Amino acid sequence: MSWRHRFLIGAGGLALSATPILWASAQTSETGFEAFLDLSQTLRVSDNSENVSYPSGTSTFAQTDLTFGISSQTRAEKFDLRIGGAAQFGYFADDGGTGTDFENPFASLSYEREASNSRLSFSANVIQKDASSVILDSDFDSSDLTVDSGKRNYISAKAGFETGIDGPLGFSVDAGLRKRTYSDTTDPSLTDNKRETIDAAMRFQVSPVLELKALTGYDLYTAEDAADTERKRVYFGAGFAYDATPSLSFSGRLTQDMIDRSETVNGTRTTNSVDEASLRLGAQQELANGNLSADLTSRAESTGRRNTFTLGREMELRSGALGFHLGVTDSEDTDARAIAGLSYEQELPAGRFIADLTQTALTDTNDSEILRTQLSMNYQHEINASSSLGARFTYADVNSLTAGTADTERASLSVSYNYALTQDWNMQTGFEHSYANESGSDATRANTVFLGLERRFSLRN
């Protein structure tokens, strides 16, 4: 008997897999307690269940998705815990036989507490996935899109505390941890790494229209690669926010950044240091149906300085909202390049359409200049009171602007039909397509059709 290791439920990030998510993870705004179990049983047929460049044939298997959760909300506190995973049994063409397994668990925890003049928050996620699949956060790079055998392990945690929220003097501190580890992979670019951050600010409300801040922070990245790479950034500085008129505001920050990048090459440990200022200035004009904004950033990096200027517009529509920005960015090693962003939401007579596009130019963990693009589109259409159609498209791309990083892209498309069989049971059927490509490697494509039932078992108080 061959053993299969598949994981098809994600938590704590954007999943490029087109696997349908049963229930929204956002907690209800109502106070109370809920314990629940989400159950989904589907039959799936895939022409590339392993997401490899040259699949062996068609796989047919049953999949059981389970998520257990506890949530509690009062006027002052919110708590949410979720644990789950997926089990599969059936015929897998790449192994030439049947197999079964339950692996790749996930767990997420979040807690928030608000008092009259302070706020405390904490969140943590632990996820294990096949290296052929991906979960993206806002800081993804090319290694997150790389297709490989083996496993990816994600650990992330965030904590924040703020006091003096409504007073003339306030303090805030935010800490974060993000760790990625890999097992049984073959790509040398997939190396274990960890990032730790802490940011603190002291706020001074000088007048009703002027706020000043003292800023400091620490950012440490370490990788267990051949060079034992370590990159550290320490900064301190000041910021301000000024309301020139009831509709016009300005903001900015100026910091001194000290960056050290250390590597071991041929047995010799070397450190390259940068000690330069970083600047950000912004302006926002409130309009009758939204706002107009401008932002200028000049940021010190280990590879030099990156400058970015953007103009943005946000507006309220009759049945939705639209936001977009256009800009230009350049660095010491790259030419000027246009960047763009879009956020669009439209309520339709029988549904909703949402689209989001973000583009960011930055220096990645390998000290390579990259352009990172992420696009998602969602469409929901209610046919009648008991049935609906849904479609989702996601795309992520890392384009290398300098040598050292491979161009990598991932895309997925899913179309599904949902029907409420009873008040508790839903039927779902649909089609999924996924695509992955990395420069220098063969592309992978997979097509899957599925049919299943889903239900939530819930206990409320």
pLDDT at residue 335 greater than cutoff 90: no
Q: In this predicted structure, what is the pLDDT of residue 188? A: 87
Query: 316's torsion region: left (phi>0), alpha (psi -120 to 50) or beta?
Result: beta
End-to-end CA gap in the chain: 45
Who wins on pLDDT, 131 or 257?
Answer: 257
pLDDT at residue 27 greater than cutoff 70: no
Q: In this predicted structure, what is the pLDDT of residue 7? A: 31
Report CA torsion sign: 90, 92, 97, 100: negative
Q: In this predicted structure, what is the pLDDT of residue 170? A: 97
Structure tokens at 119: 């706020």
DSSP 8-state class, residue 143: H
The per-residue pLDDT of the chain, averaged, comes to 90
Among candidate residues 238, 237, 244, the one with its CA nearest the CA of residue 210: 244
Q: In this predicted structure, what is the pLDDT of residue 135? A: 67
In this prediction, residues 303-322 reach a mean pLDDT of 95
Among candidate residues 84, 64, 87, 71, the one with its CA nearest the CA of residue 4: 87
Structure tokens at 169: 């003097």
Among candidate residues 370, 373, 320, the one with its CA nearest the CA of residue 343: 320
In this prediction, residues 103-122 reach a mean pLDDT of 94
Q: In this predicted structure, what is the pLDDT of residue 291? A: 98
Report angle CA 316, 283, 162 to the nearest 5 degrees. 85
Which SS3 state, helix, strand or coil, does residue 145 take?
helix
pLDDT at residue 17 greater than cutoff 70: no
> Which residue carries 């945690």 as its tokens?
157
pLDDT band at 11 (very low <50, low <70, confident <90, very high): very low
Least reliable range by pLDDT among 138-142, 187-191, 254-258: 138-142
pLDDT at residue 401 greater than cutoff 70: yes
Which residues have a Cβ under 8 Å from the Cβ of 98 and sit 6 or more positions away? 1, 2, 89, 90, 91, 92
What are residue 53's phi and psi, to 5 degrees?
-70, -35
DSSP 8-state class, residue 434: E
Dist CA 152 CA 128 (whole Å): 6
CB distance 198 to 173 below 8 Å: yes
pLDDT at residue 59 greater than cutoff 60: yes
pLDDT at residue 141 greater than cutoff 80: no
Pairing, β 444-460 against β 426-438 = antiparallel
Q: What is the dihedral of CA 70, 71, 74, 77, to 10 degrees?
A: 100
Q: In this predicted structure, what is the pLDDT of residue 287? A: 96
Q: What share of the chain is helix, strand, coil (3-state, %, to 5)?
A: 0, 70, 30
Query: 326's torsion region: left (phi>0), alpha (psi -120 to 50) or beta?
Result: beta
Q: In this predicted structure, what is the pLDDT of residue 182? A: 93
pLDDT band at 52 (very low <50, low <70, confident <90, very high): confident
Report angle CA 450, 454, 460 to the nearest 5 degrees. 160
CB distance 378 to 388 below 8 Å: no
Per residue in 411-458, pLDDT (tens digit) is: 999 999 999 999 999 999 999 999 999 888 889 999 999 999 999 999
Who wins on pLDDT, 348 or 150?
Answer: 348
pTM score: 0.86
Q: In this predicted structure, what is the pLDDT of residue 8? A: 34
Q: What is the dihedral of CA 220, 142, 50, 22, to 10 degrees?
A: 70
Cα–Cα distances in Å, from 193 out to 157, 196, 221, 412?
A: 15, 10, 7, 27
pLDDT band at 9 (very low <50, low <70, confident <90, very high): very low
Which residues have a Cβ under 8 Å from the Cβ of 314 and sit 6 or more positions away? 290, 291, 293, 321, 322, 323
pLDDT band at 20 (very low <50, low <70, confident <90, very high): very low
Q: In this predicted structure, what is the pLDDT of residue 334? A: 86
pLDDT at residue 362 greater than cutoff 90: no
- Residue 417, judged by CB atoms within 10 A of its CB (0-12, 13-18, 19+), counts as middle
Which residues have a Cβ under 8 Å from the Cβ of 9 and sit 6 or more positions away? 19, 21, 65, 67, 84, 85, 86, 106
Structure tokens at 276: 């330069």
Least reliable range by pLDDT among 27-31, 175-179, 314-318: 27-31
pLDDT at residue 132 greater than cutoff 90: no
CB distance 448 to 93 below 8 Å: no
Pairing, β 337-348 against β 351-363 = antiparallel
Query: 440's torsion region: left (phi>0), alpha (psi -120 to 50) or beta?
Result: left
Q: In this predicted structure, what is the pLDDT of residue 404? A: 65
Q: In this predicted structure, what is the pLDDT of residue 30? A: 67
pLDDT at residue 365 greater than cutoff 80: no
Which SS3 state, helix, strand or coil, does residue 424 take?
coil
